[in-house]
Amino acid sequence: MPEQLFQFLVTGITVGSLYALVGLGFAIIYNASDVVNFAQGEFVMLGAMTAIALLSAGLPLPLAAIVATLLTVLVGLLLERFAIEPTVGAPVVTTIIITIGAAIFLRGIALLLWGKDFHPMPAFSGDRPIHLGGATLLPQSLWVMGVTLLLVVLVRLFFNRTLLGKALLACSFNRAAAQLVGINVRVMLRLAYGLSAGLGALAGILIAPITFSSYEAGIMLGLKGFSAAIVGGIGNPMGAVAGGLLLGVLEALGAGFISSGYKDAIAFLFVLMVLFFEPTGLFGHKVADRV
Amino acid sequence: MRRIGFFTFAVGVALLPALFPDNYFVMAVGVSAGLNAILAVGLNLLMGYAGQISLGHAAFFGMGAYTSAILTTRYACPSLIALTAGLIIAGVIAWLLARPILRLRGHYLAMATLGFGVIVHVLMVQATPWTGGPDGLNGIPPLNLLGWSVDSDLRWYAVIMAALLLAIGLSLNLVDSRIGRALRAVRGSEFAAQMLGIDTGRAKTQVFVVSALFAAFAGSLFAHQQSFVSPDSFNLTVSVELVTMVVLGGLASTYGSACGAIALTLLHEGLVVFEDYEMMIHGALLMAVMIFMPQGLFIGLSQGARRLWRLKNKASA
Amino acid sequence: MKDYGWKIILAAALLAITSLAGAVEPIRIGSFLSVTGPASFLGDPELRTLQMVVKDINAKGGVKGRPLELIHYDTGGNAREALSFVKRLIQNDKVDLIIGGTTSGDSLAVIPEVEKAGIPFISLAGAVDIIEPVKKWVFKVAHTDRMAAAKIFEDLRKRGLTKVALITGDGGFDKSGREQLLKLAPEYGITFVADESYGNKDTDMTPQLTKIRSSDAEAIINFGFGQAPAIVTKNMKQLGINLPLYQSHGVASQTFIDLAGAAAEGVRLPAAALVVAEQLPSSDLQKPVLLAYKKQYEAQYGPVSTFGGHAYDGLMIAVAAMERAGDADKAKVRTEIEKTQGFIGTAGVFNMNPTDHMGLNLDAFKMVEVRNGAWKIVE
Amino acid sequence: MTTALSTLPSAAPLLAVEGLEQSFGGVMALAGVSFQVPAGLIYAVIGPNGAGKTTLFNALCGFYSPSAGSICFEGDELLGLPPYRIAALGVTRTFQNLQLFFNMTVLENVMVGCHLRARTGLLAAALRLPGVRREERQLREWAHEALEVCELADRAEQPAGALPYGLMKRVEIARALAAKPRLLLLDEPAAGLNDTETLALRDLIARIRAAGITVLLVEHHMPLVMSVSDRLLVLDYGSVLAEGTPADIQADPRVIAAYLGGAVQYAV
């Protein structure tokens, strides 16, 4: 039993790390623009598919990963420029539909570029499983956890220690005030989209060796990332990370101990319960409207 | 004015099959556009008028459909009773869910309704002994309205269009009434609504239940018309499509949401010929409409037409 | 958007008029396949095959002097779409025969409509329910999941394994396969010691496999298609589970081996002879058909899959029936399809009759195993 | 303009507030506020920004739940009731930040105000039963009456969002009047108005009182307050600094020191 539990935890943290990265992307964009970007999952897919395409074109892995991330960042910037900027201040549903439209559009492009097949990607450092106190994990899982940890720390440092990060954070609290103190809100908005796209792409590149990738691979991850961001209290980057890990572990435990078929139902039931008792997520700000 | 719109619509709908007999685009596409329009009109009451988003509306659609399917195929229950049962089940579940879920706002509400939709979908897929699992249930008998069996395409067209007109009529009545104004007040300002004596929690619950009933009604018709149901018809994509129809047509407009539903259904039929390009075009169109006509097609186009009209008048003057 | 619909109709009408004036009326073959969506694995090669074969037949002068016209819609694996497209094929496109229904769900959903309209329908999906009980207008050319289950159990019996763990996805193919496995197990003295499932878009199945590891299973059967079975295969190796693993015919293609990589070694599954065409003895009746199809397909599109083969079988059976019937009359063609005897296809030798609308027997399946990154016949 | 006779509290006040306390994260916004509003008066609450005026309104209306005290309205305890129940007892208000229903016409806004005076339920409304038509006509009439009082009759069919700011504020008042309240709370009605509009507002408030509605007023515009109010309550740091007639208040040295800055005198 404890051996099983340990295995479930390892699995849960690996999957949860990805949800955390995707959720982090949601939180950053939400902070900067009040938009929930439903195309976040597509960044994950684009990162993975581009990297796979570059690898098969003969590029070495590190270079392929970097180029794929940069290309995805470019897509994020284009999305911001042509779909988000013209509609600043639009109601929530409008932006939801726009980003859903963007997701479908990007998926459609990926379908034309890479077809419908699943594409494999070689693991970064082999497939030989590592045994760890009764549980086994793939070296790729370590990559996932390690890089996630690194990225989360970097994002935190960026927001807390750098002027640029603080400026971005300022936009999330009060856009007008940020503008007044000389922050270029438009540039900040682009920065947020670029950053989220980059994080998404990296998540995709990390997971592709474990799960393969296809033009549709972003849907599920996007959904889970959104759940992670909501559970953590949307707009709270570290909350999204915690939410992602929580969701991943819960899914693994649910699949292992309760029922694998109802795994997603368990995950979403948990999300609902969290919201019923904490209507702004576990770590969200309590917002009071002014009358 | 309101009556004129309604009767024009009714006459148009009635004339179509006479003008184009046995036409696939009228009969088959018309029926599915009609069902979508009923769903959109119901969802619009919740989203457009009361301002509460739901990304899980397909769940209620599915509840109506599956209740009808299960009761008629497993218990040989008469179709009208099955339909009523579907309405009761969806209504009760919506009522139970409304209070906790409608306390949430904005994206949290979107998440919660989405989660609810996913849970119901998982149940449809997993509870195989009841729902037939991923392949669904086959052999649902046609709808029987007190001895009149709805078993031909033309009859289905008639029934569904009648149902759509009923839905539009109810929606128009409701919106322009004490209850409807209370709902719109909730969207306008919850504080002010409460201070004028509106129990906003109750108002939101009512509209949630009503729009669930619209959906369950459409679901039951759908099940009998298709003669089979499967979870595919009630997944997240369908919920998102419904929201898209309402927003595309124009929030807070009954005819707008009906038009949005019809437009999206036709778009889908039209894009099929593009095969692999369909998805890309679909996504691009969605974005374009929302960016350039944020109030939706119905309002956007009618405003555009009015502007043109004025320009023309000015030119001739 | 309404205008758009009318333009299509207008274009179709114009086309119809010009073709009437210019040439003989073509025979219209309607098809609805899951070219996108979770079953695109199956639907994509099916569509390519239909397009390839239709072109080929037309180049050779068509059927009884009439060219074939293929009208196709993509269902995305959604049964509701399938039904709507079948209506469109029958009412709008006025097709003479329908081949399609990549997934069992798609096929089952359209049967009432097809029966009502009275049009021959050749399904490419697996579920037994499609042809049992026999429906007048419905035929099928893909092996049933029951045959796959039986083939796997026969192999288990040969190896003397009786305790088996089952893991399946949540799609229609998976669930229907699981049902057949459970139903058939007692006949072969097999007991299931674990019965796990996963979502077809899941990215990790180690929790389920961890549970299986702690059971006393002697072999594992994974019934599914798409990328999930490859993940199961990799996760198994990761967890150090060294039990024999059986997959379904749903992943009988090179793609599976590419995805699962080294972990695929030793995996067995029942498959149509197409995947091992070269290895067949030259006395095998199917061999020339298989090699010809494979050569033609791979010249245009890349590696063959057995599912494309089903489309080939379905279309060729239909064409043969039309040749015998003398024209494309729906009732006559239906009767002739039912009389199909000794037709050598990619899936096996078809012998249909009024009580069997598939006509394949268990020999049509070969048990194959992955050895050195390729499928090999198990003796 | 002032009504000197009604300066004494009558025996049974319409509203009696006792020891009201409300804190936000340790900061006392209301520290034991007590006062009584006699029926039929215009009663103003003044005080510097942050003195707790709007907090007091929100507590009275049920948007906040004060930690201690009591709010007695005609013998009913308001504390702990949700806003819509308080409204049903005859208390309504306008808002400092406009809370107009921008998605409706002016007339419809005011018709929402009649909500409590009508009975139509969901089913009857959806089916538009004959009784519903009759009631709709009645509501329309009432709404027009309220619009007349506020001199907005010619704006009835315009979208509420298309009006100039001053008129929007007036629609809020018409909407509140349509509810036929016994106590009307006006939260800074003059904010953002020009001089002409302020004068018109003064007349409107007087007309409202003349119709028998007690008015509780929060306002910064001192000339208006001093000219229209019968009694004043001065809040400072969440506590009552002074209470009395405008003349008393203007003469009160504490008020002069704390609020009026010791230099300003307002002519009535």
CA distance D94 to chain A (A): 10
Tell me, yes or no, if C210 comes closer than 8 A to chain B by beta carbon. no
pLDDT-based confidence at D265, cuts 50/70/90?
very low
CA distance C229 to chain A (A): 11
Taking only the tens place, the pLDDT of each residue in D52-109 is: 888 999 999 998 888 889 999 998 999 989 999 999 999 999 998 889 998 899 999 9
Q: Given this model, what pLDDT does residue B39 score?
A: 97
CATH for the C5-144+287-362 domain, from 3.40.50.2300, 1.10.10.10, 3.40.1190.20, 3.40.50.880: 3.40.50.2300
Taking only the tens place, the pLDDT of each residue in D160-184 is: 988 999 999 999 999 999 999 999 9
Residues B48 and B202: their CA atoms lie apart, in Å, by 18
Instruction: Give how far Cα C308 sits from Cα of C30, C121, C366, Å.
Output: 16, 17, 17
Report CB contact under 8 Å: D136, B177: yes
Q: Given this model, what pLDDT does residue C2 score?
A: 45
Instruction: Give how far Cα C343 sits from Cα of A275, C50, C338, C351, D248, Å.
Output: 61, 18, 12, 7, 111
- Based on the fold, state whether residues D186 and D78 are members of the same structural domain: yes
Name every chain D residue with its beta carbon within 8 A of the beta carbon of B191: 63, 83, 95, 99
Question: Exposed e or buried b for every residue in D80-110, given b needs 16+ CB within 10 A?
Answer: ebbbbbbbbbbbbbbbbebbbbebbbbbbbb
User: Counting one residue from B and one from C, how many pairs have CB atoms under 8 Å apart?
Assistant: 91
Please give the DSSP secondary-structure letter assigned to residue A285.
P
Q: Given this model, what pLDDT does residue B22 score?
A: 77
Name every chain A residue with its beta carbon within 8 A of the beta carbon of D63: 291
* Any domain includes A82: yes
Domain count, chain A: 1
Q: Given this model, what pLDDT does residue C5 score?
A: 57
Q: How far is residue B202 CA from its own chain's centroid?
A: 22
Name every chain D residue with its beta carbon within 8 A of the beta carbon of A290: 97
Best residue of A93, A221, A273 to probe chain B, by most B CBs closer than 10 Å = A93
pLDDT-based confidence at A288, cuts 50/70/90?
very low
Collect all residues with Cβ–Cβ distance below 8 Å to B146 and sequence separation of at least 6: B80
Q: Is A118 in contact with C227 (CB distance < 8 Å)?
A: yes
* Chains in contact with A via at least 3 Cβ–Cβ pairs below 8 Å: B, C, D
The domains of chain C are located at: 5-144+287-362, 145-277+365-377
Residues C71 and C95: their CA atoms lie apart, in Å, by 8
- Based on the fold, state whether residues D121 and D70 are members of the same structural domain: no
Report CB contact under 8 Å: B196, D116: yes
Q: Is D187 in contact with D55 (CB distance < 8 Å)?
A: no
Q: What is the dihedral of CA B249, B250, B251, B252, to 10 degrees?
A: -100
Of B47, B110, B119, which is closest to A268 when you measure between CB atoms?
B119
Q: What is the CATH number of the domain that holds D50?
A: 3.40.50.300
pLDDT above 60: residue A287: no
DSSP H helices in chain C: 2-22, 40-59, 79-87, 104-117, 145-159, 172-184, 206-213, 228-238, 254-260, 287-301, 306-325, 330-338
Of C40, C197, C234, which is closest to A260 when you measure between CB atoms?
C197
- Based on the fold, state whether residues D18 and D137 are members of the same structural domain: no
Q: What is the CATH number of the domain that holds A150?
A: 1.10.3470
Residues C36 and C39: their CA atoms lie apart, in Å, by 7
Evaluate the omega torsion of the peptide bond into residue D83 and state whether it is cis, within 30 degrees of 0: no
Residue of B nearest to A89 (CA): B294
* Chains in contact with C via at least 3 Cβ–Cβ pairs below 8 Å: A, B
pLDDT-based confidence at D39, cuts 50/70/90?
very high
Report CB contact under 8 Å: A8, C204: no
Q: Which residue has the higher pLDDT, A76 or B12?
A: A76
Name every chain A residue with its beta carbon within 8 A of the beta carbon of C196: 260
pLDDT above 50: residue A291: no
Q: Given this model, what pLDDT does residue C4 score?
A: 58
Residue of D nearest to A289 (CA): D63
Of A115, A210, A263, which is closest to C199 when you measure between CB atoms?
A263
The DSSP element (H or E) to which D220 belongs, if any, is: none
pLDDT-based confidence at D7, cuts 50/70/90?
very low
Q: Given this model, what pLDDT does residue C9 score?
A: 61
The chain-wide mean pLDDT, for chain C, equals 89
CATH homologous superfamily for the domain C145-277+365-377: Response regulator (3.40.50.2300)
pLDDT above 90 covers a percentage of chain D that reads: 60
Report CB contact under 8 Å: D125, B252: no
End position of a domain, from candidates D140, D159, D180: D180
Average pLDDT on C151-173 reads 92
Residue of A nearest to D96 (CA): A291
Report CB contact under 8 Å: B116, A272: yes
End position of a domain, from candidates D180, D206, D241: D180
Report CB contact under 8 Å: B115, A96: no
pLDDT above 90 covers a percentage of chain A that reads: 54
D-facing residues of A in 232-291 (CB < 8 A) are 290-291
pLDDT above 70 covers a percentage of chain A that reads: 97
Report CB contact under 8 Å: B270, C8: yes
DSSP B148-213: EEE-SHHHHHHHHHHHHHHHHHHHHHHHTSHHHHHHHHHHH-HHHHHHTT--HHHHHHHHHHHHHH
Taking only the tens place, the pLDDT of each residue in C237-270 is: 888 899 999 999 988 888 889 889 889 999 999 9
End-to-end CA distance of chain C: 60
Residue written as token pair 């897929």: B125
CA distance C214 to chain B (A): 24
Residue of A nearest to B191 (CA): A291
Report CB contact under 8 Å: C204, A261: no
Q: Is D196 in contact with D226 (CB distance < 8 Å)?
A: no
Q: Given this model, what pLDDT does residue A88 score?
A: 80
* Any domain includes D152: yes
The per-residue pLDDT string of chain B (317 residues; one tens digit each, 9 = 90 and over) reads 567 888 888 888 888 888 888 788 888 889 999 999 999 999 999 999 999 999 999 999 999 999 999 999 999 999 999 999 999 999 999 999 999 999 998 889 999 999 999 999 999 998 888 998 888 888 899 998 888 888 888 899 999 999 999 999 999 999 999 999 999 999 988 889 999 999 999 999 999 999 999 999 999 999 999 888 999 899 998 999 999 899 888 888 899 999 999 999 998 888 887 878 888 998 998 899 888 888 887 777 777 787 777 777 776 65
Average pLDDT on C218-223 reads 95
- Which residue from D57, D28, D54 is spatially nearest to D238, judged by alpha carbons? D28
Q: Do chains B and D touch (3 or more CB pairs under 8 A)?
A: yes
Q: Given this model, what pLDDT does residue B196 score?
A: 94
User: Counting one residue from A and one from C, how many pairs have CB atoms under 8 Å apart?
Assistant: 95
Name every chain A residue with its beta carbon within 8 A of the beta carbon of C259: 118, 120, 212
Counts of helices then strands in chain A (DSSP H, E) = 11, 2
pLDDT above 50: residue D260: yes
Tell me, yes or no, if B92 comes closer than 8 A to chain A by beta carbon. no
The DSSP element (H or E) to which B230 belongs, if any, is: none
- In degrees and rounded to multiples of 5, residue C287 shows phi and psi of -50, -50
Q: Given this model, what pLDDT does residue D1 score?
A: 39
Average pLDDT on D220-245 reads 91
Biggest CA–CA distance in chain D, Å, is 65
Q: Which residue has the higher pLDDT, B281 or A181?
A: B281
* Chains in contact with B via at least 3 Cβ–Cβ pairs below 8 Å: A, C, D
Average pLDDT on D225-254 reads 90
Q: What is the dihedral of CA B205, B206, B207, B211, to 10 degrees?
A: 100
Residues B143 and B81: their CA atoms lie apart, in Å, by 11
Q: Given this model, what pLDDT does residue B153 score?
A: 84
ipTM of the complex: 0.86
Q: How far is residue B86 CA from its own chain's centroid?
A: 16
Residues C339 and A220: their CA atoms lie apart, in Å, by 47
The residues that bridge with C194 in the sheet, in sequence order, are: C165
Residues A193 and A200: their CA atoms lie apart, in Å, by 10
pTM of the model: 0.89
Burial, D261: exposed, middle or buried (Cβ in 10 Å; 0-12, 13-18, 19+)? exposed
Of B115, B126, B279, which is closest to A272 when you measure between CB atoms?
B115
The residues that bridge with C140 in the sheet, in sequence order, are: C123
* Any domain includes A289: no
Report CB contact under 8 Å: B194, D103: no
The residues that bridge with A136 in the sheet, in sequence order, are: A131
End position of a domain, from candidates D180, D204, D229: D180
Interface of A with C (CB under 8 A): 4, 7-8, 10-11, 14-15, 18, 111, 115-118, 120, 127, 129, 131, 136-138, 207, 210-212, 214, 216, 219-221, 252-253, 255-256, 260-261, 263-264
- Which residue from A157, A198, A158, A160 is spatially nearest to A68, judged by alpha carbons? A198
Taking only the tens place, the pLDDT of each residue in A7-26 is: 899 889 999 999 999 999 99
Residues B94 and B57: their CA atoms lie apart, in Å, by 10
Domain count, chain D: 2
* Chains in contact with D via at least 3 Cβ–Cβ pairs below 8 Å: A, B
- Segments forming the whole domain that contains residue D133: 101-180
Taking only the tens place, the pLDDT of each residue in A213-249 is: 999 889 888 999 999 999 998 888 899 999 999 999 9
Taking only the tens place, the pLDDT of each residue in C177-200 is: 999 999 999 999 999 999 998 888
- In degrees and rounded to multiples of 5, residue D236 shows phi and psi of -145, 130
Q: Do chains B and A touch (3 or more CB pairs under 8 A)?
A: yes
Q: Given this model, what pLDDT does residue A94 score?
A: 85
* Any domain includes A269: yes
- Which residue from C366, C298, C320 is spatially nearest to C49, judged by alpha carbons? C298
The reply to whether CATH 1.10.3470 applies to domain B2-316 is yes
- Based on the fold, state whether residues D16 and D129 are members of the same structural domain: no
D-facing residues of B in 197-226 (CB < 8 A) are 197-200, 206, 210
Report CB contact under 8 Å: A136, C240: yes
CA distance D160 to chain A (A): 19
Tell me, yes or no, if B291 comes closer than 8 A to chain A by beta carbon. yes
Report CB contact under 8 Å: B191, D111: no
Taking only the tens place, the pLDDT of each residue in A31-55 is: 888 888 999 999 999 999 999 999 9
Taking only the tens place, the pLDDT of each residue in A187-214 is: 888 999 999 999 999 999 999 998 889 9
